[in-house]
Structure 1
């Protein structure tokens, strides 16, 4: 089955060798590159080498067993999945469409399974991650920053998880922009199930969904932290929107630092435990972000698909107009009771309620238990 599709895979013979490689215990892409340099050998030659030669090269018995007796059923399952639909791809580390930035990390996945156009994996990407149970402000920040950054030419990359991840994808697709989702499960097992529709929307907007895990792979909890290195590895930088001290988002930030990528964090209320992780990162040197220009100014050397000048002007004008609004000025970015808003603004409660309803429809505030929260610029 020698197939070669536009933008997709190379021949299945080469693909089979990479599928065999993933079955070799404790044998990574990094080790393969060392072997190729040291022994001047190609991957395909490893699978036809004699036992004595493999032993001389340093392979252990368990590895030799895997090399000489690969699981053909698993290989066929992957190839069958790949060629079942036209919108699927399976690319290996040496394929031209394998993401350039992902090649640079210490633990590059040997294979990427995916839906969509693999060429998008080389877009300029910005990772956005955070809490699975964000505050109302965190939810709004995720959607707003994702959309604004997409307007500037960034491709938003995240993990399709509940909370900030999913909201970041939603912010991108709400404007019809490309976004990339990295699964921590097998490519044929969308998780969480409630995001199946979001996954469809991502693909409808020319986005991509990828996983390093083959079809039918049984899920394990440790796969999700492992997935985070790919999210940060694909991206020029990682923005932590809202996160606790002990969270997967901080694992992603650590990976980003190890990969020599930029780390950004949105500050929050000092009493909000979901902001504690961001504050910790800022104390450790992550860049504090209050608007998209705080991010874009770090990447002035990149030529993004669209200019951010228009977005910056819009953001500045909106900020100026909101600053002069007495009523909106009376609402905090945390829960503000209605009577406090009326007291601060000097406006009657009935009029305050009427105007706040209008602001809520405009997306400037949100009504929550106990009062209102200012959402910031739209």
Structure 2
């Protein structure tokens, strides 16, 4: 009999796990569950936000042959009976569960989030107005730059406590700041947005900035499904996993991506596609090994880069050490654009390919080699 595997979530991590399991073993009956049938290109949401057509990618067209796709939202996980109950009452059983439901940005009254389709319409309707971007992480930076380039008469404020690109090296950060200045983005640091009002955002101290549109990009919310199912989670609601990415309380459950608290020697991995996709590939390999009667191997991951789009005509890439601290290497301009586009678009191409998923790649830094679990189609070698 085949073992029943449910992949809960069809984002980048869930899709990579699905493809990996299907290609590594014939002993699994795989079902992918997702609230919608359309694949969300999370890496390119800032482009969709300004009305760029990214095309519609249907999940049933992206999963491997023989994999079942169920469109539905999980309402409950019954970990004792190994069942996933959907909000319409359907009931799915599993032998192994891949928990890959990701995270969301908090919903704030009178503000949009980057994945809200209504945000693009609001920008079009206020193309000569004021946009306040609350939060200057990578999402905030890319959204501000994209909006400023797409709507030259739009006044864009980027509001944050820290300087944009604080995680980068000084040269890459300086390039980023110059690009924002060139695009006319007004960066305001040392401030916290305390609330969003109709037509304005309010900062700490009571100062208000007029804004026709507000975009909220800061903070992370994790689903409560795992905690409610009795899985061991951290304070943020992420599933605590062992070194093979299995739940420490329920080893038949693998957790990956934003939904998992994955600890490495340098600390807990922060949720990005860069770490989530390798985790999905590693989980696929682990499940295949278990079904062959073997023990799973430990997951080892090191960061490679911090890629940032600055509109369609510019970008900056900060290469990093495995612990995500900046190295001395970075790309800018056309080279960075080409690199960023390849990174952002590669998963969809890879899902459609028939190539076996590589389980590892090597980054060479400072004369030493670090083995990095990865699912990026082409191996990247950075030599310092």
Where on the TM-score scale, by shorter chain, does this alignment land: which range? under 0.3
Larger RCO (CA within 8 A; separation ≥ 6) = 2
Higher helix share: 1
Structure with the higher strand share, 1 or 2: 2
Please identify the structure whose Cα radius of gyration is greater: 1
The alignment's TM-score, normalised by the length of structure 2, stands at 0.27
